[in-house]
Structures are given as structure tokens and as C-alpha cells.
Amino acid sequence: MLNLYRFFTSLPLLFVTLDLYNEGVQGKTSKEDAEQHLELGKQLLAAGQLADALSHYNAAIDGDPENYQSYFRRATVYLAMGKSKTALPDLDKCIQLKPDFTAARTSRANVLMKQGKLDSAKKDYEAIHCPWYIDLRNKRADCYLKTGQTRKAIDDIRPAAKMIPDNTDAYYKLSTLHYSLGDLEESLINIRECLKLDPDHKQCFPHYKKAKKLNKQFESAQQLMDEGRYEDAKQKLEATMKTEDQVPEFRRRARQQICTALSKNHDAKEILKYQFQNIILAAVEDYQKAKGIEENQRTKEGLDRAQKLLKQSKKRDYYKILGVPRNARKRDIVKAYRKLAAQYHPDQYNGDDKAKAEETFINIAAAKEVLTDPEMRKKYDAGEDPLDPESQQHRGGQPFNPFGHGGPFNFKFHFN
């Protein structure tokens, strides 16, 4: 009765095996099939069916020859069979594909020691246990970071996180580096590892909160897009740029998704705005990289110009506010201003939202102030907003207020 039970419970595994075998006969094993072969090999190895497990690992390597796990597991089967000499090439290949794979280095060191190759075995043991190995990797990671090679730095820091117990600093560093590249998922994985070791870590916990909030905003925006609520999705994506305004990759991702949402609503002007910001953002990054390699007057001027344009793209567009082209003459600007002022001046506005009307009128007045003054217009066209409070503070000026004392406008209606 027990043998009959085992027979029926093994049928699903048998059917999957037969399906994979038939696919293998018809053609080369696919990458997707390779994953199934790996899983079946694992189950068969656990059941002690070494020959069958070996067949599946052979098929997995045939389907995906770059998967280090396939070589390691096949080597494990060879070792279980007592074929250490046959296992060694698989361990070599596994370590070649993933140099920081500790389990493979340990197995190879044991095989080499049994074969009497003590010097080679010593190198593997030192790579696993020697603190200098980690120290050298950390130093190389610092060099990679200084030259802008963040992903290579990550590859060197990761072994330190795994090999040194309770290495919260390494997990925090990995998380922040992935975050700087826009890899939210990897950032969260590593910061959670840090918090498992120290739930109250002073650096990890605030970073986790920020990364989690940002990830939730992106997920909510995608859900809104899937539901066809494109305007709500746009607002949610704009919120991500307030949550994180320093990492270019997140801003670029948000703007690209905003463009998608706008395209659904057929808002061509707004699409162009966000595309322009993406182009300028890419230019800023390129100039920053160039400056890091070789700083000269050309790269400095280019970076300054791109940064000004990027800053301006996030602020008020005075030409758009007045609805005039960038080459508009002064009389056309004044004419456009008068038309809009008559509509939005608080003394004349008849709508319900007085606060919105006042805000609109302030923008209209600011646009007229800048675009009718040749010097201010020249600065604005060069990427500087003359009425930006930050710029005025540097020059010792006062913020623009059309309703304040000495300003060009009072609540008595004027068009001049």
C-alpha cells in the first residue's frame, strides 16, 4: 500500500520530466525550461536519485550555459557520487561566473586539498576567510565610485555584506548605491537586510521609510494608469518628484510615465514640456560626467547653462503664461497682458475661486514685468528667472509682489 502511495505521489514529477524530455528531443532546451530542469534536479537530488538529477542538470546547462547555479549543483551531484575530479571543472566554471560565491569556493578548496594541491586550496580558503580579501574589495569599490563605476562598486561591496557577520554598513551602502541608480527593488531588499540585523539603525531606518514611500507612489501611479485614471496618475507621479528630487533616474522615470499618461489624454503641449525636461536632465548628467573626467571652461559653461535651463523648466514659463511666442515684440506682450489682466484682476474677477484668480494675476504681472524689461528678458532667455526669490536674495533684492508697497499694481485696476 505504501509503495502504491509513493507511485501516485511521484506522478506529477514524472509527467513534468516526460514533458521536458519530449521538448529536449524536439530541439534545444530553452532558458525557461532550464529553470524547470534545475528545480527537478534539486528534488531528485534530495530524494537520492543522483543519476536522474544529473540528467536534469545537464539539460539545464544546455539551456542556460551562463547560470552559475547549474554548474554548482551538477558539481554537487558529482561529489555525492565520489567523482571529485569530474566536479572540479564545474566548480571552476561556477566561480568564473560568480567569483564571490562562497559555497563554490569552499567546495573547490576541499577538493583541491584532497588532491594535494595545497597552494591552490590555500588561495580559495584565503579568499573566503581572509579579512584582507574584504579590505581590498572595499578599497577597489571606493576607486570604482570615484570614477563613476557604481555597478562595479556594488559587485565588490556585496561579498563584504555576506562574509562579515552583522555588516549593517555594507547593506546600507548597497541600498543607497542601488537607490542612486534608480533600482528601488534592490535598494529595498538590502535595506531590509540591514534592518533585520538592527531594527533601529540610525541610517537604515530613515532611508527605508523614504524608499518605501517612493516605491508605493510609483506602484499607485501604475495602478491608476491601469485603471485609466491618467490625470490622477500624473499627480501621483509628480508627487514622486517631490519625495525624491535629487536622483535623476527617478525624475526621468516619473517624467516618462507622465508623458505616457498625457498621451492618453492627448495633451501635446505638456508632453513636450516633460520631454524637454528629460533632454535637459540628460545633458546635465553628461556634463557632470565630462567634468569628472576633465574639467575645463567648455564643460563648466555647458554644465552651468544646462543646470539653468533645467531649473527654469521647473519654474514659471512667462511666455506660456501670456500666450505669446518667444520672439514676441513688447507691444504684443503688453497687449496679451492687458487682455488677461482684465480677466483675472481681483477687482474685476467674478468667479468663485478668488484665491486662484489672484495667483493667476500675480503670474501674469510677473510675466509682463520680466518680458517688457530688456535686461530681465535677456537674463530669463539665458536660463535665469530674475524674479526667482533665490536669485533676488543673492542680489540683495526683494521678492516680486504686484500688490505690495511700491509695486506696480494695487487693487485699483491699472493696465500700465
CATH number at residue 60: 1.25.40.10
Identify which of 23, 19, 58 has the alpha carbon closest to the alpha carbon of residue 41.
58
Which stretch of DSSP H or E encloses residue 330? helix 330-344
User: Rounded CA gap, 273 and 270, in Å?
Assistant: 5
Express each pLDDT in 159-203 by its tens digit. 778 777 788 999 999 999 999 999 999 999 999 999 999 998 999
**pLDDT band, residue 30 (cuts 50/70/90):** confident
Question: Same domain for 55 and 203?
Answer: no
State the pTM of this model. 0.45
The verdict on 336 and 191 lying in the same domain is no
The answer as to whether 230 is a domain residue is yes
Q: Is residue 342 part of a domain?
A: yes
- The pLDDT value recorded for residue 356 is 79
Task: Look at the chain and report how many structural domains it folds into.
Answer: 3
Task: For residues 247-252, give the mean pLDDT.
Answer: 86
User: Does 143 lie in the same domain as 288?
Assistant: yes
Query: Considering only CA atoms, which of 381, 268, 276 is closest in space to residue 327?
Result: 381
Q: 316-350: per-residue pLDDT in tens? A: 788 888 999 989 999 999 999 999 988 888 777 77
251 assigned to some structural domain: yes
Give 400's contacts (C-beta < 8 A, 6+ positions apart).
366, 369, 387, 392, 407
Note whether residue 320 is domain-resident: no
Both 53 and 157 in one domain: the answer is no
Q: Residue 191: which of 401, 344, 205 has the closest Cα? A: 205
Residue 314 lies inside a defined structural domain of this protein: no
DSSP string, 233-287: HHHHHHHHHHH--S-HHHHHHHHHHHHHHHHHTT-HHHHHHHHHHHHHHHHHHHH
29 DSSP 8-state letter? P
- Mark whether 23 and 170 lie in a shared domain: no
Residues 345 and 289 in one domain: no
Higher pLDDT, 106 or 348: 106
Residue 317 counted as domain residue: no
Residues 141, 204, single domain; the answer is yes
Give yes or no: residues 229 and 271 share one domain.
yes
Look up cell 557577520; give the residue: 165
CATH code for the domain of 380: 1.10.287
Residues with Cβ within 8 Å of 285's Cβ and at least 6 positions away in sequence, in order, are: 248
Summary count for the chain: helices (H), strands (E): 22, 0
In a domain, 2, yes or no: no
Does residue 111 belong to any structural domain of this protein? yes
Domain closes at, from 281, 309, 337: 309
Residue 203, domain extent? 135-309
Range with lowest mean pLDDT among 82-86, 151-155, 163-167, 204-208: 163-167
Contact in structure between 142 and 136 (CB atoms under 8 Å): no
> Does residue 168 share a domain with residue 129?
no
